[in-house]
Chains A and B, each alone.
Chain A
Amino acid sequence: MSNSKLTRRGLIRTGAVAGAAGLALPTYLRADGHAGFLNAPQGDTVTLGFNVPQSGPYADEGADELRAYELAVEHLNGGGDGGMMNTFTSKALQGNGILGKKVEYVTGDTQTKSDAARASAKSMIEKDGAIMITGGSSSGVAVAVQALCQEAGVIFMAGLTHSNDTTGKDKRANGFRHFFNSYMSGAALAPVLANAYGTDRKAYHLTADYNWGYTTEEAVKTSTEAMGWETVAAVKTPLTQTDFSSYIAPVLQSGADTLVLNHYGGNMVNSLTNAVQFGLRDKQVNGKDFQIIVPLYSRLMAKGAGANVKGIFGSTNWHWSLQDEGSKAFVQSFGTKYGFPPSQAAHTCYVQALLYADAVERAGSFNPCAVVEALEGFEFDGMGNGKTLYRADDHQCFKDVLVVKGKENPASEFDLLEIVEVTPVEQVTYAPDHPQFAGGSLGTCNPGA
């Protein structure tokens, strides 16, 4: 028999203290007692958080991501032509929202700054009740927001992030990446480069001085050196650099016959433009035509470099000219709605939104840990990249990689890249403990409870 000394006054006091403590805690530290996970959808709607760069240098890429998310929401709720839902091999999605709840969304502006991205993600989780955060156009942002989502207890479906670290040393159980990575770029590009330019090349790397630049340089160096190339020099360039002439001018003096530009965005546009201005591509060194390589291509960025991209090799996650049924369905759907073809950033974001929704349907729950379980080891097709695996060990998607080249005679302003090779997934797959991905661990999923 219990000897309870609980009094009415004591109960009120205890309740008041507990209530105050509860109010004082950040929302994400308070679990929804009924559902056992954070931000369990109430009523007949579920809220997703789209965290994309709406200002700053990648605002155009962010706008394309947002278009893709809006299209995905439309399709999930049964609108439009259904897009890739018709070609996706999993048939769990019915066009009636997610688990019968209508999909709504809120947006945040990452500004392509880690602190701003975290703040906007936090706001969407705490104030808007977003159960999943997705988007972004930078690895720094992806790593920062992924860590926040892990702490908070929501799923993070990364947008455009190419650094090895996102699913390497900085991987998290609540985070998932569909986009490919630096290692895959190197592994896909090297054989094509060896085939096109031979195995006796001297490469000079210019590398953006931040995390993504380092992993890309390492990946391309390792892969090309394995093919017989020699790395003459690898020079770091400040991320804020706009005029690369003083970095490009010494390239020819170094004896290099190939320039690798480990740059993205504005850096890529400027360094490539400068390199072409210096006439590097018209030169002959070591008895060979001088060549330039851009490991990560983006059509939106290539547009900024204009005719300078012609004939230059690079890699990309996806391209609108692919002729598989999934890609065709997505291009048709996106093109009809917006009047131009989607970018690779739009594609990966659209796919991530559908993959999340599908995982929830298959799990039968919005609980992040159930979603993690549904995504880990999930194999699918019909989403534009052939057969794809969401590997359980690191939450990285493994799929074919595209090697592309700047088109010599573009038919339109969108027709800037041509696909040179679809590198099979086997060639870009690596062991989970590969040195380029060493350190860090997924840990355990956090449902926020």
Chain B
Amino acid sequence: MDAIILQILNGLDKGSAYALIALGLTLIFGTLGVVNFAHGALFMIGAFCAVTLSRILTLSHTVIDETQKDFLGNPLKVDVPYIYDIFGQATGDAIIDWAVPISILFAIPVMVGIGFAMERGLIKHFYKRPHADQILVTFGLAIVLQEIIKYFYGANPIPTPAPDAFRGSFDFGAMLGFDPNTIIYPYWRLVYFAFAAVIIGAVFAFLQFTTFGMVVRAGMADRETVGLLGINIDKRFTIMFGIAAAVAGLAGVMYTPINSPNYHMGMDFLVLSFVVVVVGGMGSLSGAVLAGFLLGILESFASMAIVLETLPGINQIIIYLVAIIILLTRPRGLMGRKGVMEE
């Protein structure tokens, strides 16, 4: 029982990342009709917003420490962050420690800006082209973006830890009456899950309860009619692209303490996120979220030692296997709408 609870927790956490990325993908597909293979790259760029802000906060000047030697035997050059000079060491350390949460504020305008630039500069030219062209151009863009990141940040993962307050893990087992240490879960992963829930809720609320959201939903259902009513739906869809980019970026920012970011992390999530979108149903926002959590949980269960002993290799194929079964039984996915990508 404890093992099942543990894997459900793991699945919720993995599913959070899948759901956030798939939500953005679906927003873009539902509004602009574009299959955006560069969406994983937006997740990665979001993560590197956290890395960049960490580096900005730790920008330093060098002080020579005559009492210590470097690896060549010369006096050691010690880096002292400018932030110490401004706020003092204690406050400076606290700000640096909280770099990841602070990065959210930094990432939102950056990601919205990148989203606008991507949509206006490249993707809008491919609206009327076949999906294959869109996939090729966005996939190419993803490769360009990750190579740019690799050029500036290198190929190795860059550690970007969570604030000290969120390090360590919470003993769920003890709380639920199980033996200690049977169900432990890192604090930051709980934060990530809660953060994902808030973002998903906010996006749904925005679309459901605002005039802007109502127009966008109307545009998603019938773009032509909304246009005929004199509403500039293209402008709103561009804004939605920016919002989708920001959602992916925020998912990336908050993911950095879970796994040290590297230039390739977007690609690692991209294929799975597309499977999530297809399983959830093309164009269905709630389907994307549901499928994200479902596949995350299934993937966690498939990684259990007892399952692997019975079905070796199942951990590598479970998501695709489930995708095949769902698409065979429900060709439009879990919550797919009629007419989407069926022409």
Within 8 Å CB of A303, what residues of B? 156, 159
Closest to B300 in A: A246
Within 8 Å CB of A439, what residues of B? none
Contact B186 A414 (CB under 8 A): no
Pairs of residues from A and B, 5 with the lowest C-beta to C-beta distance, nearest first: A306-B159, A279-B169, A304-B157, A59-B155, A246-B303
**Chain B contact residues (Cβ within 8 angstroms of A): what range?**
35 or more
Given that A278-B184, A331-B72, A411-B76 are contacting pairs, would A58 and B308 also be in contact in the complex, using a CB cutoff of 8 Å?
A: no
Q: How far is the CA of A250 from the CA of B2 in the complex (A)?
A: 10
Contact B6 A249 (CB under 8 A): yes
Contact B72 A332 (CB under 8 A): yes
Closest CB-CB distance, A173 to chain B, in whole Å? Answer: 34
Decide yes or no whether B132 CB sits under 8 A from chain A.
no
Closest to A320 in B: B71
Contact A60 B303 (CB under 8 A): no
Q: Which of A242, A273, A335, A411 has the most chain B CB atoms inside 10 A of its CB? A: A242
Contact A236 B184 (CB under 8 A): no
Q: Which of A273, A301, A308 has the most chain B CB atoms inside 10 A of its CB? A: A273
**Chain A contact residues (Cβ within 8 angstroms of B): what range?**
35 or more
CB-contact partner of A245 in B189, B265, B316, under 8 A: B189
Q: How far is the CA of A356 from the CA of B170 in the complex (A)?
A: 55
Closest to B264 in A: A57
Decide yes or no whether A92 CB sits under 8 A from chain B.
no
Decide yes or no whether B39 CB sits under 8 A from chain A.
no
Enumerate chain B interface residues (CB-CB to A < 8 A): 2-3, 6-7, 9-11, 13-14, 68, 70-72, 76, 150, 154-159, 161, 167-169, 181-182, 184-186, 188-189, 257-260, 262, 264-265, 268, 299-301, 303-305, 308, 312, 315-316
Closest CB-CB distance, B253 to chain A, in whole Å? Answer: 16
Closest to A305 in B: B159
Within 8 Å CB of B10, what residues of A? 245-246, 249
Decide yes or no whether A364 CB sits under 8 A from chain B.
no
Within 8 Å CB of A247, what residues of B? 303
Contact A304 B71 (CB under 8 A): no
Contact A253 B155 (CB under 8 A): no
Within 8 Å CB of A60, what residues of B? 154-156
Within 8 Å CB of B268, what residues of A? 240, 242
CB-contact partner of B182 in A58, A253, A279, under 8 A: A253
Decide yes or no whether A326 CB sits under 8 A from chain B.
no
Decide yes or no whether A282 CB sits under 8 A from chain B.
yes
Decide yes or no whether A269 CB sits under 8 A from chain B.
yes
Given that A60-B155, A279-B184 are contacting pairs, would A249 and B260 also be in contact in the complex, using a CB cutoff of 8 Å?
A: no
Closest CB-CB distance, A254 to chain B, in whole Å? Answer: 7
Q: What are 30 inter-chain pairs, A to B, with CB distance below 8 A?
A: A57-B262, A59-B150, A60-B156, A233-B305, A242-B268, A245-B14, A246-B10, A246-B11, A249-B6, A249-B185, A250-B304, A250-B305, A266-B264, A274-B258, A274-B259, A277-B169, A277-B186, A277-B189, A303-B159, A304-B156, A304-B159, A305-B157, A306-B159, A307-B159, A307-B161, A308-B159, A320-B71, A332-B72, A412-B70, A412-B71
Q: How far is the CA of A65 from the CA of B262 in the complex (A)?
A: 20
Within 8 Å CB of B264, what residues of A? 57, 266
Within 8 Å CB of A305, what residues of B? 157, 159, 260
Q: Which of B68, B156, B184, B299 has the most chain A CB atoms inside 10 A of its CB? A: B156
Decide yes or no whether A228 CB sits under 8 A from chain B.
no
Closest CB-CB distance, A130 to chain B, in whole Å? Answer: 25
Within 8 Å CB of B3, what residues of A? 250, 253
Q: Which of B3, B158, B184, B264 has the most chain A CB atoms inside 10 A of its CB? A: B184
Decide yes or no whether A56 CB sits under 8 A from chain B.
yes
Given that A246-B303, A250-B305, A306-B159 are contacting pairs, would A412 and B76 also be in contact in the complex, using a CB cutoff of 8 Å?
A: yes
Closest CB-CB distance, A63 to chain B, in whole Å? Answer: 8
Which residues of A, 306-335, contact B by the 8 Å Cβ criterion?
Answer: 306-308, 320-321, 331-332, 335
Within 8 Å CB of A240, what residues of B? 268
Within 8 Å CB of B188, what residues of A? 277
CB-contact partner of A238 in B13, B181, B315, under 8 A: B315
Closest CB-CB distance, A198 to chain B, in whole Å? Answer: 20
Closest to A321 in B: B71
Closest to A276 in B: B167
CB-contact partner of B169 in A57, A278, A321, A335, under 8 A: A278
Q: How far is the CA of A58 from the CA of B304 in the complex (A)?
A: 29
Given that A250-B3, A252-B181, A279-B186 are contacting pairs, would A304 and B308 also be in contact in the complex, using a CB cutoff of 8 Å?
A: no
Decide yes or no whether A243 CB sits under 8 A from chain B.
yes
Closest CB-CB distance, B22 to chain A, in whole Å? Answer: 16
Closest to B168 in A: A279
Contact B168 A282 (CB under 8 A): yes
Decide yes or no whether A336 CB sits under 8 A from chain B.
yes
Which residues of A, 324-373, contact B by the 8 Å Cβ criterion?
Answer: 331-332, 335-336, 340-341
CB-contact partner of B157 in A253, A269, A340, under 8 A: A269
Within 8 Å CB of A250, what residues of B? 3, 6, 304-305
Within 8 Å CB of A233, what residues of B? 305
Q: How far is the CA of A236 from the CA of B311 in the complex (A)?
A: 12
Decide yes or no whether A283 CB sits under 8 A from chain B.
yes
Q: How far is the CA of A410 from the CA of B226 in the complex (A)?
A: 62
Within 8 Å CB of A277, what residues of B? 167, 169, 186, 188-189, 257-258
Given that A235-B308, A250-B305 are contacting pairs, would A285 and B181 also be in contact in the complex, using a CB cutoff of 8 Å?
A: yes
Contacts A277-B189, A278-B184 known; list 5 others, CB within 8 Å. A59-B154, A236-B312, A243-B259, A246-B304, A249-B185
